[in-house]
Amino acid sequence: MGSKNTSIEDGFILVGFSDWPQLELTLFAFISIFYSLTLFGSISIIALSRLDPRLHTPMYFFLCHLSFLDLCYTTSTVPQLLINLSRLDRTISYGGCVAQLLISLALGSTEAVLLVVMAFDRYAAVCRPLHYTTIMHPHFCQALAIASWVGGLMNSLIQTGLMMAMPLCGSQLNHFFCEMPVLLKLACEGTGGTEAKMFVARVIILVFPAALIEGSYANIAQAVLKLTSMAGCGKALGTCGSHLLVVCLFYGSAIYTYLQPTTSYSESEGKFVALFYTIITPMLNPLIFTLRNKSIWTTTDFSTQTLKVMWFLKDIWCQPRLLYSAKLYFSI
């Protein structure tokens, strides 16, 4: 595999999408658009949920945390990717790589736990409606949110510590940011024991929460089937549909990336899958939670103005000026 990399000061080279130079200009333009929409969408949801008293409910409390997670997660990777695509700098220091790995793992792990908390909230709303306000007390909601963040951080610290303790052979990462599967590809031989421990940690943070969510929705499905009112069924499905779609998007891509063996992991495919869950999914989450949500659309005039501004910015970004700006970057 190569000689052991003993100098951590040299950092790493992020290959990014230099394998497909014909795609870099297009990717730069579209990623800039999607990143802007993600920022505006997530910030809008947080602002609306905080400013309107009618949205001071457990569901929107957790949605604020999810939007903040998406905001931070995409920001931890996209600026580095845009610099990489502009061909200005494809290197990252060892400390920067460790920080990026720690932050992205912490945010991703926190989201995995938070989606379980949101599933429990939906279970309480559908299956225990008369006791919902008692169960989802504000103090209990805050405790669940804190537990999500602490659990995600602990998982990240464990996996990052194990990863950085492994001897690495080489300094070229065939990716656009420092991610666990790609770093494992650089691991020298004789690290099977450490990789096994890391795999167990990934199973705990992905499979166990997914099983809990599946159990919650099994109970929700039983409760919905017992309803005789079509209006009640529609309301229950509307309440859970958005969350279930986000769960499928998140866990589908996460399980594909983190639970397959290192030997079968394709770095080329992994880069495009990573684009999906670092850029596309965070951009879609605000739309998924708001398009069919009457509480957001009818909240205040502020929400209407926010949506107008969002679409206005989208139209501006889609103008040829963005492509022109991208061409200036590539002409440097």
Q: Is the pLDDT of residue 47 over 90?
A: no
Q: What is the pLDDT of residue 166?
A: 85
Q: What is the number of residues in the chain?
A: 332
pLDDT at site 72: 95
Q: Which of 20-29, 46-55, 233-242, 303-312 has the highest mean pLDDT?
A: 20-29
pLDDT grade for 16, boundaries at 50, 70 and 90: confident
Q: Is the pLDDT score of 235 beyond 60?
A: yes
pLDDT at 216 over 80: yes
Tokens for 57?
């409910």
Both tokens of residue 89?
């700098």
Among the residue ranges 156-160, 190-194, 201-205, 313-317, the one predicted with the least confidence is 313-317
Place of tokens 């700098």: 89
Q: What is the DSSP letter of 6?
A: -
Model pLDDT for residues 84-125, shown as the tens digit of each residue: 888 777 888 889 999 999 999 999 999 999 999 999 999 998
Q: Tell me what the mean pLDDT of segment 186-200 comes to.
A: 78
Residue 24 has pLDDT above 90, yes or no: no
Q: Which residue has the higher pLDDT, 307 or 231?
A: 231
Q: Per-residue pLDDT for 327 more than 50?
A: no
The two tokens of residue 205 are 């943070």
CA distances from 241 to 17, 114, 168 (A): 35, 17, 43
Which of 4-13, 206-215, 302-311 has the weakest average pLDDT? Answer: 302-311
Angle between helices 267-275 and 230-258 in degrees, nearest 10 = 150
Residue 142, class by beta-carbon neighbours within 10 Å (0-12 exposed, 13-18 middle, 19+ buried)? Answer: exposed
The answer to whether residue 307 scores a pLDDT higher than 80 is: no
Q: Could you give the C-alpha distances from 112 to 115, 116, 128, 148, 227, in angstroms and in order?
A: 6, 7, 24, 8, 30
pLDDT tens-place string over residues 289-298: 876 666 665 5
DSSP 144-203: HHHHHHHHHHHHHHHHHHHHHHS-B--SEESSSS--HHHHHHTBPSS-HHHHHHHHHHHH
pLDDT(8) > 70: no
pLDDT at 9 over 70: no
CA distance 15 to 84: 8
| Mean pLDDT rounded to a whole number for the chain | 82
Which tops the pLDDT comparison, 77 or 189?
77
260 phi/psi in degrees, rounded to 5? -85, 150
- Give the lowest-confidence range in 16-25, 127-136, 181-190, 307-316: 307-316
The structure's pTM equals: 0.85
- What local confidence, expressed as pLDDT, does residue 299 receive? 56
Q: Band of the pLDDT at 53, cuts 50, 70, 90?
A: confident
Which pair of structure tokens corresponds to residue 218? 């099994």
Q: What are phi and psi of 168, to 5 degrees?
A: -110, 135
Residue 268 one-letter amino acid:
S
